[in-house]
Every structure is written in C-alpha cells, then in structure tokens.
Amino acid sequence: MLVLAGIVVIAAGFLLRFNPLLVIIVSALVTGLAAGLDPVAVLATFGRAFNDTRYVTAIYIVLPVIGLLERHGLQARARALVGKLRGATAGRVLIGYLLFRQITAALGLVSIAGPAQTVRPLVAPMAEAAADPRDEAESETVRAMAAATDNVGVFFGEDIFIAIGSILLMKGVLEGYGIVLEPFQLSVWAIPTAIAAFVVHGFRLLLLDRRLARGR
Amino acid sequence: MIGLGFVYLVAGVTFVIFAGQSLLARRWANGAFQSLIALSFMAGDRLGDVGNGALVLALVAIAATGRMRRGEGTPAPMDRGARVFVPALVIPAVALLGTLAFKQFPALVDPKQATLVALAAGTLIALALGLYLMRARPAAAFAAGRGLIDEIGWAAMMPQMLASLGAVFALAGVGEVVGGLMGQVIPTGSVIGAVVAYALGMAVFTMIMGNAFAAFPVMAAAIGVPLLVRGAGGDPAIVAAVGMLAGFCGTLMTPMAANFNLVPAVLLELKDRYGVIRAQIPTALPLLLFNILLLYWMIA
C-alpha cells in the first residue's frame, strides 16, 4: 500500500502547481523509497528508462522546418485555402481529418501526423478559418477540438494495425498465461470501437458546427 | 543498419544548434536545458544508468529555477505563396512512403523503427526543400524552431519523464497493489461486476500511469484472465482488445499522458492547459460505456 504514496505526490503536486518535472522526480523517489529501494537504485532505474524512451522527445526535430514555414506564411495560407472552399465548416474539416487519421493509423502510419507535424501548422488554422470565430473563446474551442480530433483518430485507429505496440504487448501478456493468439485475432476486435469513436466524435463535431452557427 | 541511432543523431544535432543559438542570445537557462537534451541524444548510451539519472536531475533543477524564458516573439510572416505547402506535405508523404519502402529492406533499415527513420528523413528533405523554396538560411530555420521549443519550454520533457516514472512504478510493484485493490471490490460471480471493474480499472489505472501499456498487464492479471476468460469463459482476444481500448479512453482524460494532452495545448497556444482534455472527455466517456457494453454483450 505504501508504494501508492508516489501517486498521491503526483496528484497533490499537479494540483498545487509545483513544477511538473520536479513533481515527477519526487514521486519516483518516494515510490522507490516506499518499496525499500535505495535512492541511487531509483535514480539508475529512472535514468535507464529515460535513456530508453528518447524516441518520445525525438519528434521535436520537425520544429525547424515547421518554424521556417510558419515564418513564410504557412498558417495564413492554410486559412486562405479553407476560406476558398464552399461549404467548409470547422466540423466538416475535422471530420475529414478524423477519418484520414483513423485510416492511416489503421495502416500503421501513426507518426505521419500529430500535434507538431500537422495540427499546429495545418489542421488547426484550417478549422479556425472555416469556423470564422467571433471571439478568443470560440477560437480556443476550435483549436482544442482540433488537437482532440487528432488524438481520437490515432487512438481508435492504430489498434486495427496488427504490428502496433499495444497488439504485440497483449499477445505477449496472454502468452504468459498459455493463451496463444495471432495478432489478427486481436486487431479485428478494435474495429467496433473504431467505428463507435468515429460516430461519437463525428457527432460532437457536427454539434460544434451547430454551436458556432447559432446566432448568425 | 539505419535505426534509432540515426534519428537520435538528427535530434542531437538539432538540439546542439538550439543550445548554441540560445547561449549566443545569452538565454542561459534555455541554453543549458537544450544542451542537456543534446547530450542525452548524442551520448546517452555512454553515460550509464546513474549518469543518465544525474542528467535528469540537472534538467529538473534548471526547470525548477523558473529561469527558462518563453519565445522571443516572432516577426510578421512573409508570404511566399502556396509553395509553402510543399515542404509541409513532404514530411507526412516521406514518412508514409518511407515506412512502406523501408519494410522491404530490413537489412538496410531497422523494420521496427521504419516510421521514425522515415520521419527523420522526411524532416531533413523538407528542411532542405524549404530553405531552397523560401530562399532562407539554415540559421533562420533553427531560430524559428528554437522559438517554438522555447514556447513549449520544460513541458517538452514531460512525456519522456512520465514514461520513466512508469518504469519506477513498475519496479516498485505499484501495478500489483492497484490491481489487488480492484480485484477486491468485485462481488463474487457477477459477470457484469467483473466487466465494469476491468474496463473502469483499465481507464482509471491508465489515467494514473498516463499509459494503457502499463495498465494492461496488471488488469489482465487481476481481473481479465482469472475472472473474464477462465471464470466467465470470455474470448481472450475480445477481453484483451476491448480492455486495451477502454484504457485508451483513460488516456484521453489524463494530464499524465502529457505528449497527447498537455504538449498540444502549449503548441496550439491555448490559455487553458487542460483545454485538450476538456475537449476529449465528452468523447471518452461514451466510448468507455460502449466498450463496457460490447465486452459484456460478447461474454454473456
């Protein structure tokens, strides 16, 4: 039970708005000490995992090219492009993106799009241009929804792909119990939820359009 | 063989340039933070476990001083016409084609890392093309990129830090304790009770750990395999797949999944740092319910 103290540290630290990096390292130390590990062993475990997960941070290599293009009018051009499309609404733009993201993720192409690669430079400005927001609050809502759509699309598309990490993890864990499955058997069962995600999130995007259109 | 080493070299060089520019601009804290990230990418494998731990402590110390400064404010963009889209589309296009092509040459490119390698290659091609089309100097691109990384600030390291915390949680056995608690609350013999506890357990545990991968082995051991597969005779493929997706519903609702939920809020300059999570909860909760019903219907 004592090892749960680290979770309390995280929750309290985030709530009290301490620097999150500090909260994370303190939580690691508290958890390790509660489990009877010495501080150096905890630091070594943390350091090894940190080194093994550098690929998470590698995505920032796209920033110089994105920054360069933004200084040469990328966001404005993306907005202008959508402005020319007749019948484009924020909801329809994002539904199109949701479908694109689910299908490509289902083909295993998880990293071809994302918040830094596509949402900030292209999708959010396009959705904003189509929404034609009246105030900052509306514009925030549309941008937040653009990021949310990216996440929903990738989460509920990727498990249809047979070689994605989560499918291989499930296969590995079940084998530990003597249950042998083919990745394909697992991935077909991601399809019902993928369809449900498209329906639920797509419906919310249509509601967003109605809310934006109200009073015009 | 080309693999993560190539990706880390590209990332290391990128952060070396960021750091150099920051130090020249006398932005010491930002420069030091970026130098440490560069060091991790370039030499992380040679630092040893404790050395990497010390590097993390230094990163945290810089972040905790609160001396890292935001971006310097960007000049009004110049308009170069629609060709600005070309490099922007090159990144996903090369990532897509490269992933498919590299899988054909497993001797040349590590198939497990094909997409990351293709993404790095696409980024380099897009950068070269962008510099040519925009008639800009490389220094200008890195200055613009540094503006973006400075806007993100220390939050850039949160995803990797949380992933590492997960490793400590695993070593300390946090999962077994949470799984044991979840196991205790189910009324014996109730299939719906076990289904709800399993799916909610996946979502809640994922919210705590920020990652459904950490939750799955624990909930499978506590409820999935003993009660749903062996007890109620559920198809293990359905129990596993739908359980994992219930976990993903949790990922949509937690600040612990910083790379999906917090970093995009910073990138999109939202005032509310939980704005993306707030936008996702109304999708995540109905989907969680859907997964519970699907699982119950397939087992019962």
Instruction: Give B208-248 as a DSSP string.
Output: HHT-HHHHHHHHIIIIIIIIIIIIT---HHHHHHHHHHHHH
* Residue range B24-52: mean pLDDT, rounded: 97
Q: Closest approach of chain B CAs to the CA of A91, in angstroms?
A: 14
Q: Which residues of chain A lie closer than 8 angstroms to B161, CB-CB? A: 20-21, 24-25, 50
What confidence score (pLDDT) does residue B171 get? 85
Q: Which pLDDT band, with edges at 50, 70 and 90, does A152 fall under?
A: very high
Decide: residue B26, CB within 10 A, 0-12 exposed, 13-18 middle, 19+ buried. exposed
* Residue range B115-142: mean pLDDT, rounded: 93
Higher model confidence: residue A203 or residue A87?
A203
ipTM: 0.85
Instruction: Identify whether B165 is part of a domain.
Output: no
How many domains would you assign to chain B? 2
Q: What angle do CA B43, B1, B6 make, to 5 degrees?
A: 40
Q: Which residues of chain A lie closer than 8 angstroms to B99, CB-CB? A: 108-109, 112
Q: Which residues of chain B lie closer than 8 angstroms to A128, CB-CB? A: none
How many angstroms from the chain centroid is the CA of residue B124?
21
- Interface contact A55, partner B, CB < 8 A: yes
Distances (CA, A) of B101 to A105, A176, B98, B109, B217: 17, 34, 5, 10, 33
pLDDT digits (tens, 9 = 90+) for B235-273: 999 999 999 999 999 999 998 888 899 999 999 999 998
pLDDT exceeds cutoff 80 at B191: yes
Instruction: Give pTM, 2 decimals.
Output: 0.83
Instruction: Identify whether B150 is part of a domain.
Output: yes
| Contact across the interface for B245 and A159, Cβ inside 8 Å | yes
Provide the 8-state DSSP code for B154: G
C-alpha span between B275 and B264 (Å, rounded): 9
pLDDT exceeds cutoff 90 at B213: no
| Residue B137 sits in the same domain as residue B194 | no
| Residue B9 sits in the same domain as residue B144 | yes
| Contact across the interface for B178 and A4, Cβ inside 8 Å | yes
| Residue B206 sits in the same domain as residue B178 | yes
* Residue range A183-212: mean pLDDT, rounded: 94
Q: Which pLDDT band, with edges at 50, 70 and 90, does B287 fall under?
A: very high
What confidence score (pLDDT) does residue B79 get? 83
| Residue B12 sits in the same domain as residue B154 | yes
Chain A, window 152-211: residues with a beta carbon less than 8 angstroms from a chain B beta carbon: 152, 155-156, 159, 165-166, 169-170, 173-174, 177, 179, 181, 185-190, 192-193, 196-197, 200-201, 204
Distances (CA, A) of A80 to A1, A123, A125, B80, B248: 57, 12, 9, 13, 35
% of residues, chain B, pLDDT over 90: 58
pLDDT digits (tens, 9 = 90+) for A138-147: 999 999 999 9
What confidence score (pLDDT) does residue B6 get? 95
Higher model confidence: residue B142 or residue A169?
B142
Boundary of a domain, candidates B130, B159, B188: B159
Provide the 8-state DSSP code for B111: G
What string of DSSP letters covers A164-193?
Answer: SHHHHHHHHHHHTTT----HHHHHHTTHHH
Instruction: Identify whether B164 is part of a domain.
Output: no
pLDDT exceeds cutoff 80 at A25: yes
> Element (H or E) spanning B131, and its range?
helix B114-134
% of residues, chain B, pLDDT over 70: 100
pLDDT digits (tens, 9 = 90+) for B161-183: 887 887 888 788 877 787 778 77
C-alpha span between B78 and A69 (Å, rounded): 10
Higher model confidence: residue A13 or residue B131?
B131
Instruction: Identify whether B287 is part of a domain.
Output: yes
Comparing CA positions, the residue from B83, B91, B62 lying closest to residue B154 is B62
| Residue B138 sits in the same domain as residue B64 | yes
| Contact across the interface for A140 and B275, Cβ inside 8 Å | yes
Instruction: Identify whether B234 is part of a domain.
Output: yes
Domain interval for residue B86: 4-72+80-159
Boundary of a domain, candidates B136, B159, B182: B159
* Mean pLDDT of all residues belonging to chain B: 90
| Residue B47 sits in the same domain as residue B144 | yes
Higher model confidence: residue B40 or residue A168?
B40
Q: Which pLDDT band, with edges at 50, 70 and 90, does A210 fall under?
A: very high
Higher model confidence: residue B258 or residue B286?
B286
* Residue range A181-208: mean pLDDT, rounded: 94
Boundary of a domain, candidates B117, B135, B159: B159
| Residue B20 sits in the same domain as residue B155 | yes
pLDDT exceeds cutoff 70 at A50: yes
Which stretch of A12-26, A163-177, B19-33 has the lowest confidence by average pLDDT? A163-177
Q: Which pLDDT band, with edges at 50, 70 and 90, does A163 fall under?
A: low
pLDDT exceeds cutoff 70 at B221: yes
C-alpha span between A78 and B253 (Å, rounded): 29
Instruction: Identify whether B286 is part of a domain.
Output: yes
Higher model confidence: residue B119 or residue B261?
B261
Chain A and chain B share a number of CB contacts under 8 A equal to 400
| Contact across the interface for A50 and B217, Cβ inside 8 Å | no
Comparing CA positions, the residue from A94, A118, A129 lying closest to residue A205 is A94
- Indicate the residue of A109, A120, A169 with minimum beta-carbon distance to B96: A109
Instruction: Identify whether B145 is part of a domain.
Output: yes
* Residue range B81-88: mean pLDDT, rounded: 88
Instruction: Identify whether B109 is part of a domain.
Output: yes
What confidence score (pLDDT) does residue B300 get? 82
What confidence score (pLDDT) does residue B111 get? 82
